[in-house]
Amino acid sequence: MLRSTFAVVERRAEHAVTFFYSHLFWNNPALRELFPEDMRPQRDRLFAALTHVVTHLETPGLTEYLGRLGRDHRKFLASPTLYAAVGSSLLAAFAHAAGSAWTPAAEKAWAEAYGHVADLMLAGADEAAGAGEPAWWDADVVRHERHGEDLAVLTLRPRQPLPYLPGQYVSVSSLRVPRVWRTYSLADAPRPDGTVELHVSRIRGGAMSTALVEETGPGETLRLSAPGGALTARTEPGGLRTYICAGTGWAPVRALLAAAAKDEPELKGRLFVVARAKGYLYGRRDAEHLRERLPGLSVTYITSAPGHPKDQATERLLQSLRACVHWASHDVYLAGPPGFLTEVTETLVELGTEAARIHHDTLPPVGGFTVRPSTAAERLLGPPSPPWHDPEARAPRRL
């Protein structure tokens, strides 16, 4: 019942989401101040979460996913009252979008399902609060380094200890862009002085990345969410591994390698660092330092040739991967833009790497809401894009 109803609603996703937020803010005006001024990214995230739940109803990890989601929503000051208001508006939006498919049985099923989801999210939030975890960490900017026009490395000192694993990411908020949170990977293993490092690439039109790269300076305070992500070390000691990163994907890979240099200096593996041009290889000095600490690590830098399109870097990487052997024996840690992840993953599988041994994070979407066709004719003329929860499946965007 949940899936069949959602299939109808999903075809009118933009109408449903617009109705949802209009209903929510009309009936609960005070809640508007909890949300960012630009609601477009928020619309994508809502359907991403809904789609994940609907497509993983029988998955054992769904309970854990919802607990983490509830823990993360503490940074939005989500309360039981907010969950109740969201549930009421969600059912109203689904009734509006589903039309004749919204039967009493469907309404009952969704009311019960949402109640269960809310309970699990609140339980996750309560567990985090009970363990003494703050809703967010205030972190002071102690250093801001520019690398070219579009990239900055920020060193932060959280005012409370921030526990995290190498390879994880945090969501970041700044008073310069109120109520907006964007995800960035932590670029090192935990340091003795407690500082953390973020690598930020400015996205054209991106308010948060622009603020962090061009405007933020030492002495300012940022907020950090609880760390998350699955790009953490999973290889048994002595196991072979390959690291592949593009752009600021170097940040989580550097963190993984820094931890390995400390705990497993005899590591045997390969590192591919990809950039659109030589000027964007901002992490080369750190990579060379890590190679000195990890003698068994081979390092390859790949860029587009001078005067050639920037997507040539991806093509040259794929050629290099095809020249390597023993892929079935390697765990692969992969970081970079969504389209890059898609192309590289497909190639690795073709070369014999088991899909379960290719590790990367799928970060929340930050925009690009797509109007869904609502009639058979519209779907024929403009087929719907792949599922909301799987941004990797969208048309590849090469580096």
> For residues 64-99, b (16+ Cβ closer than 10 Å) or e, as one string?
ebbbbbbbbbbbeebeeebbebbbbbbbbbbbbbbe
Q: Render each residue's pLDDT in the chain as its tens digit; 399 residues.
A: 888 999 999 888 888 888 999 999 999 998 888 887 777 766 667 777 888 888 888 888 889 989 999 999 999 888 899 999 999 999 999 999 999 999 999 999 999 999 999 999 999 999 999 999 999 999 999 999 999 888 999 999 999 999 999 999 999 999 999 888 999 999 999 999 999 999 999 988 888 999 999 999 999 999 999 999 889 999 999 999 999 999 999 999 999 999 999 999 999 999 999 998 888 899 999 999 999 999 999 999 999 887 767 678 999 999 999 999 999 999 999 999 888 999 999 999 999 999 999 999 865 444 443 444 444 444 444 444 433 333 333 333 333
So where are the chain's domains? 2-130, 137-224, 240-366
Contacts of 63 by beta carbon, 8 Å cutoff, 6+ apart? 120
- Enter the tokens of residue 340: 């890059």
- Nearest CA to 62 among 11, 137, 2? 2
Q: How would DSSP label each residue in 197-232?
A: EEEEEPPTT-HHHHIIIII--TT-EEEE---B-S-S
Right CATH for 137-224 from 3.40.50.300, 1.10.10.10, 2.40.30.10, 3.30.1490.20:
2.40.30.10
Interstrand relation of 137-147 and 177-185 (parallel, antiparallel or unpaired): unpaired
Maximal C-alpha separation, the chain: 66
CA 266 from centre of chain? 31
Statement: 240-366 belongs to CATH 3.40.50.80: yes
- Enter the tokens of residue 236: 């048994």
* C-alpha span between 146 and 126 (Å, rounded): 40
Q: Which CATH class is domain 2-130?
A: mainly alpha
Contacts of 117 by beta carbon, 8 Å cutoff, 6+ apart? 53, 66
Contacts of 294 by beta carbon, 8 Å cutoff, 6+ apart? 257, 260, 261, 265, 267, 269
Q: What's residue 41's pLDDT?
A: 67
Helices (H), the chain: 2-10, 13-27, 40-55, 62-72, 80-98, 104-130, 207-210, 250-263, 284-293, 312-322, 338-350, 376-381
Q: What is the pTM of this model?
A: 0.82
Residue 357 DSSP symbol: G
> For residues 13-45, b (16+ Cβ closer than 10 Å) or e, as one string?
bebbbbbbbebbbeebeebeeeebeeeebbbbe
- Nearest CA to 343 among 320, 374, 314? 314
Q: What are the strands of the beta sheet with 151-158, ordered from one edge?
A: 177-185, 169-174, 221-224, 137-147, 151-158, 196-201
> For residues 161-170, b (16+ Cβ closer than 10 Å) or e, as one string?
ebebbbbbbb
What are residue 19's DSSP bridge partners? none
Give, in degrees to the nearest 5, the angle at Cα 33 between 27 and 37. Answer: 110
Q: What's residue 397's pLDDT?
A: 34
Residue 186 DSSP symbol: B
Q: How would DSSP label each residue in 2-26?
A: HHHHHHHHHTTHHHHHHHHHHHHHH
